[in-house]
């Protein structure tokens, strides 16, 4: 355990059941922070190879994360400056503040779509060489369902309608270049009425 956290555990603020609960929250949020930061750093490395990308729409509750971060900042400042708690004693609050105030907003800068070496899906990046199946699903917006080896669940990529034709063309180009290997259940759709317009 990090010395700073261990020092904080010795304080009376963390010895309470609430303090223990906050510590557990801190560990959980630390894990989430590291995962999202790793995604963002991977995006920074790959963004020069972007071919067709778009920004992720922010949910209606996005503004709430800013207010949560502001509230947590006041709690941290009060505990550190007024109650004289050690930083290790506010570990849980610090990790939650980092998530809502920094990492979560930063995750919306990761653009989804087509890159030189793979697809950035809603939840993860998949290299073309790892894709074993593709299919389109209709809905409010066209959705590309991606099956990749070593993945238990299929990934999804909602494609804005204005990028649908270009997305299909890019997929076919990658198949011709043998970046994607056509095998079941690969299905790019032989005909779509939207192409007739």
Q: Same domain for 15 and 77? A: yes
Boundary-marking domain end, from 107, 123, 156: 107
Q: DSSP of the chain, one letter per residue?
A: --HHHHHHHTSHHHHSHHHHHHHHHHHHHHHHHHHHHHHHHHHHHHGGGEEEEEPPPPPTTHHHHHHHHHHHHHHHHIIIIIS---GGGGHHHHHHHHIIIIIHHHHTTS-EEEETTEEE-SS-EEEGGGEEEEEEE-SSS-EEEEEETT-SS-EEEEPPGGGHHHHHHHHHHHHHTTSS---TT-B--S--GGGG-
Residue 131 belongs to domain with CATH number: 2.30.29
How many Å apart are CA 161 and CA 54, to the nearest integer? 12
In the chain, the percentage of residues whose pLDDT exceeds 70 is 83
Q: Same domain for 82 and 39? A: yes
* pLDDT for the residue 2: 42
Asked whether the predicted pLDDT for residue 175 surpasses 90, the reply is no
Does residue 185 have a cis bond before it (omega within 30 degrees)?
yes
Q: Same domain for 80 and 169? A: no
Domain containing residue 118: 112-196
Tens digits of residue pLDDT in 108-149: 999 999 999 999 999 899 999 889 888 999 878 899 999 988
Q: Same domain for 21 and 89? A: yes
Structure tokens at 74: 């006041």
Asked whether the predicted pLDDT for residue 191 surpasses 50, the reply is no
Q: Same domain for 181 and 122? A: yes
Tens digits of residue pLDDT in 56-91: 989 989 999 999 999 999 999 999 999 999 988 999
Domain count, the chain: 2
Q: Are 113 and 46 in contact (CB under 8 A)?
A: no
Burial of 83 (0-12, 13-18, 19+ CB in 10 A): exposed
* pLDDT for the residue 196: 29
């Amino acid at each position: 355990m990090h010395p700073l956290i261990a020092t904080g555990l010795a304080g009376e603020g963390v010895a309470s059941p609430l303090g223990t609960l906050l510590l557990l929250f801190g560990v959980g949020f630390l894990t989430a922070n590291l995962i999202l930061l790793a995604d963002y750093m991977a995006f920074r490395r790959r963004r020069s190879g972007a071919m067709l990308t778009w920004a992720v729409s922010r949910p209606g509750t996005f503004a709430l994360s800013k207010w949560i971060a502001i509230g947590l900042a006041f709690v941290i400042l009060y505990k550190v400056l007024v109650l004289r708690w050690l930083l290790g004693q506010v570990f849980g609050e610090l990790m939650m503040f980092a998530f809502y105030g920094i990492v979560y907003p930063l995750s919306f800068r990761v653009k989804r779509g087509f890159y030189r070496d793979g697809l950035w899906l809603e939840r993860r990046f998949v290299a073309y060489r790892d894709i074993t199946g593709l299919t389109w699903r209709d809905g409010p917006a066209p959705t590309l369902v991606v099956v990749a080896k070593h993945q238990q669940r299929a990934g999804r990529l909602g494609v804005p309608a204005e990028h649908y034709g270009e997305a299909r063309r890019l997929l076919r180009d990658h198949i011709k270049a043998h970046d994607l290997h056509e095998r079941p259940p690969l299905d790019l759709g032989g005909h779509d009425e939207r192409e007739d317009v």
